[in-house]
Amino acid sequence: MIPVQGVEDQTVAVLGLGRSGKATAAALAAGGARVVAWDDGVDTREAAEADGLHILDLTRDAAWQGVSLLVVSPGIPHLYPRPHPVIAKAYELGIPVDNDIGLFFRSYATEDWQGFDRPPRVIAVTGSNGKSTTTALIHHVLAECNRPTQMGGNIGTGVLSLDPAIDGEVVVLELSSYQTDLARALTPDVAVFTNLSSDHLDRHAGHGGYFAAKRRLFAEGGPDRAVIGIDEAEGLFLAGQMSMGPTDDRVIRISAGQKLDRAAWSVFARKGFLSEYRKGRQAASIDLRGMRGLPGAHNHQNACAAYAACRAVGLAPRQIEGAFHSFAGLPHRSQTVAEIGGVRYVNDSKATNVDAAAKALQAFDRIRWIAGGLGKDGGIAALAPYLGQVSKAYLIGHSARDFALEIGQTPHEISETMEDAVARAHAEAVPGDTVLLAPAAASFDQYPNFEKRGEHFVRLVQALAAKN
């Protein structure tokens, strides 16, 4: 746990008592604060009270007497589409509002650091797509290179539940727009922006507000190094804002398709090869094509971002390359589950929308595609340009018949269930095929979440592998 600094003998209110809220309350108490807490859920409040938290109804004016800070869990709206009533009350009373990310950045450094040979570093990753894989890949590379490292934030451990820093450690954080938007302190040593596509627009009042939330990671604290994907206009704009000119190597520009050889420092991937350029000259090159944990152009962009971040904290190109080879990928994100009789089985259950499914379909040839579930607005007609490599689609779930109408002449069958889809794809696949679960739909018609859907696919594949 990281005790929160600067709250000793203060009364601090915590709103939202899920995993991060409980961890925040504990870290505040460890820092000497008097913690009062509230959650809209009756069962959640009762459970927290049973655990010893002081529950106080923050919807009542009298509850705010003496409160100096309100700390909010990330899922609770603080501005759009409208502030939660408790947050609105804090604004009205002039009480500062923060989240666990802000508390982490103001509390991570301690006097103990004066005795370290190498100061700890923080790498923070944000963006729309690929940030989980990028975060996990950076953490994996650091660990493989014997650098002390922890991973947390929006993936793994909550930030205030991390262990206090040790000499030379690198903490790698995945930060969502919900987390960057409200944090009062954002001071990573290395900040990474992967890409931007429309998401969470109701929480940010549109695409511009969503980008503004991401941009705060770079604008608020001024990282020592900024790794910025420039394949969208927003990234190109951000790189321009952070840079002092063409020779400024504090900004590392990355791309998953463009050749970047004119910037002071850049990393890009083309045709399966990652290249690093410094001052117009190639400094390193890595062949990504055989790396099973990083298939497709979208994962090559993740590799560029992770490579740049690891270079920014002093790792050598060959160290990074060696660690890339042992990266297995994250569960449910282009995860190779097995190879049976020359057929590859890939779990990309996280591909719950058209954009993510399009990236998955571009990553493989000769695809036996398992798709369907609870379809989203707009359907899957936009996937038409990416269906050329689909040998056959096996459609499941609520939207199976709707999807069948939208994929035109692509061979397909209505499988209804995951069991039938996997069995049929396995029976018809030939060596060199890839059986790909990339649903392009939510899971809630048949599963509680995309993880359970992916786990079901994995179990079915593993059962087939055990028979062969």
Binding site membership: which residues?
A: 127-133
Burial of 228 (0-12, 13-18, 19+ CB in 10 A): buried
* Phi, psi (degrees; rounded to nearest 5) at 142: -60, -45
* Pair 114, 293: CB distance under 8 Å: no
* Phi, psi (degrees; rounded to nearest 5) at 450: -70, -30
* Pair 404, 412: CB distance under 8 Å: yes
* Phi, psi (degrees; rounded to nearest 5) at 316: -85, 155
Distance CA(433)–CA(431), nearest Å, equals 6
Question: What letter represents residue 456's amino acid?
Answer: H
Question: What letter represents residue 435's amino acid?
Answer: V
Output the six-digit token pair for 335: 């995860």
Output the six-digit token pair for 400: 């199976």
Distance CA(367)–CA(347), nearest Å, equals 13
Count, residues in the chain: 468
Distance CA(72)–CA(85), nearest Å, equals 12
Residue 362 Cα to chain centre, angstroms: 21
Distance CA(170)–CA(410), nearest Å, equals 47
Distances (CA, A) of 318 to 283, 310, 322, 407: 11, 11, 6, 43
Burial of 5 (0-12, 13-18, 19+ CB in 10 A): middle
Output the six-digit token pair for 170: 């690198």
Output the six-digit token pair for 383: 């996937």
Indicate left, alpha or beta for 42 from its phi (over 0: left) and psi (-120 to 50: alpha): alpha
3-class state of residue 322 by DSSP: helix
Positions at the binding site for ATP:
127-133
Output the six-digit token pair for 142: 């650091």
Distance CA(179)–CA(423), nearest Å, equals 42
